[in-house]
């Protein structure tokens, strides 16, 4: 996605069409919070806590009041749309705050950017990106360990806050979807044509069972153009689920097009690795970015495992996502939200409920 006039199949020229080895992200995509900004955030948290146990949907700029930081967050949609498409916010003193207060700060910052979206059948407004595959086998990829293939999520802006890093590895790996387009247009135009028409998508079983459907109604295009504006949506994981199911057979050409898109996004010529520090918050323009993560070695204890908090945001000021590219509809998210309980996203509650669930199963 970019406000400049571009056309599918032609080279996209944009600050967002970068290549990892050629960009210095610390110059173009890093903001280190100043002491004054940190004090402002701390005061906003104290103000929020004085209101009692405020549930996440009720955290707003009114009860999490910020001045310069609020202006920075409010300017983020334009910055991500017109610039390189990502920003790392660094400097929060992680050791100063509990996991729960970090989550509150994160949600407070997000309230200045856009509207939070439900992420799965769990009803979560904050997704816990942590390996709980041993405790929750039905979870999606963000609740499993190891590396993650390059993909885009179903929102305008995705945020990731790092609560804890792994023993080693687990870097954020990002690529420009506009660069993926340019590569395919130059080297594999036939594959780009297929991706423009779209591929079938499939949700995981639990997400599908609790939503309107498991498969997309029709093939979903990876790239669209509306009035010279390119919107990218590369749900490679969902496409792979549909392909592997055999219920929506892919032609050989469609399978090859998906493979080429995945390879282009994961090419060392294109990707950029960003190492998380505890307290970092990464924001990505999901309409022009692809992201994944490198493999990692994790701790055994749940309380010590690599743990990020994920936020999906919708920006009302942006043009609406092209209808043909919307996989998770508002109705899907409404159905998922039925499962949500007050304050369930707090890390302390998330971890406790997981462990209690395992304990109860052992008793049974």
The residue behind tokens 């549909």 is: 242
Token pair listed for 277: 């520090």
The sign of the CA dihedral 145, 148, 151, 156 is positive
- Identify whether 80 is part of a domain: yes
> Does some domain include residue 127?
yes
Question: Which residue, 336, 118, 322, 97, is CA-closest to 231?
Answer: 322
292 within some domain: yes
Listed in sequence order, the residues at least 6 apart from 48 whose beta carbon sits closer than 8 Å to its beta carbon are: 54, 59, 63, 64, 104, 108
Give the three-state DSSP class for 230.
strand
Asked if residue 121 belongs to a domain, the reply is: yes
| 23 within domain boundaries | no
Q: How many CA atoms lie within 13 A of 309 on its CB side?
A: 27
In a domain, 224, yes or no: yes
Torsion of CA 125, 126, 131, 132, to 10 degrees: -50
Enter the DSSP assignment of 251.
P
User: What pLDDT, on the 0 to 100 scale, is given for residue 5?
Assistant: 64
Q: Which residue has the tokens 């390879």?
A: 263
Alpha-carbon distance values, 330 to 32, 79, 314, 349 (Å): 35, 26, 11, 27
Number of folded domains that form the chain: 1
pLDDT in tens, 41-83: 999 999 999 999 999 999 999 999 999 999 999 999 999 999 9
Domain residues for the domain of 306 are 31-362
Residue 187 class from Cβ within 10 Å (0-12 exposed, 13-18 middle, 19+ buried)?
A: exposed
Residue 184: which CATH number?
A: 3.60.130.10
pTM: 0.94
**CA 323/CA 343 separation, integer angstroms:** 32
On whether residue 24 sits in a domain, the answer given is no
Q: Evaluate whether residue 22 is within a structural domain.
A: no
Tens-digit pLDDT profile for residues 224-250: 998 888 999 999 999 999 999 999 999
pLDDT under 70: residue ranges of the chain: 1-5, 358-364
Structure tokens at 101: 């207060």
């Amino acid at each position: 996605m970019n406000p400049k006039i571009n056309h599918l199949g032609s080279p996209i020229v944009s600050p967002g069409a970068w290549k990892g080895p050629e960009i210095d992200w610390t110059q173009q995509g890093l903001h280190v919070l100043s002491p004054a900004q940190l004090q402002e955030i701390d005061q906003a948290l104290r103000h929020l806590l004085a209101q009692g146990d405020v549930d996440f949907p009720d955290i707003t700029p009114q009860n999490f009041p910020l001045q310069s930081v609020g202006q920075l967050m409010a300017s983020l949609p334009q910055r991500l749309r017109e610039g390189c498409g990502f920003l790392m916010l660094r400097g929060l003193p992680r050791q100063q705050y509990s996991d729960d207060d970090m989550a509150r700060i994160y949600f407070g910052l997000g309230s200045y950017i856009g509207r939070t979206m439900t992420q799965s059948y769990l009803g979560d407004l904050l997704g816990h990106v942590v390996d709980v595959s041993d405790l929750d086998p039905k979870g999606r990829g963000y609740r499993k360990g190891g590396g993650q293939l390059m993909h885009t999520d179903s929102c305008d802006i995705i945020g990731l806050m790092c609560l804890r890093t792994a023993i080693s590895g687990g870097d954020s790996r990002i690529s420009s979807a506009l660069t993926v387009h340019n590569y395919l247009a130059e080297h594999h135009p036939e594959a780009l044509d297929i991706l423009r028409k779209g591929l079938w998508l499939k949700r995981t079983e639990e997400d599908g069972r609790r939503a309107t459907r498991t498969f997309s109604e029709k093939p979903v295009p990876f790239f669209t153009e509306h009035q010279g504006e390119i919107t990218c949506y590369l749900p490679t994981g969902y496409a792979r689920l549909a392909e592997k199911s055999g219920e929506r057979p892919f032609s050989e050409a469609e399978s090859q097009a998906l493979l080429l898109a995945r390879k282009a996004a994961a090419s060392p010529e294109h990707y950029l690795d960003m190492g998380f520090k505890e307290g970092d918050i990464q924001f990505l323009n999901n309409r022009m970015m692809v992201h994944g993560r490198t493999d990692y070695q994790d701790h055994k204890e749940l309380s010590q495992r690599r743990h990020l908090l994920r936020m999906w945001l919708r920006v009302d000021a942006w043009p609406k996502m092209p209808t043909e590219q919307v996989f998770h509809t508002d109705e899907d998210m409404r159905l998922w939200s039925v499962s949500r309980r007050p304050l369930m996203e707090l890390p302390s509650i998330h971890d406790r409920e997981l462990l209690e669930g395992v304990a109860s199963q052992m008793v049974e």
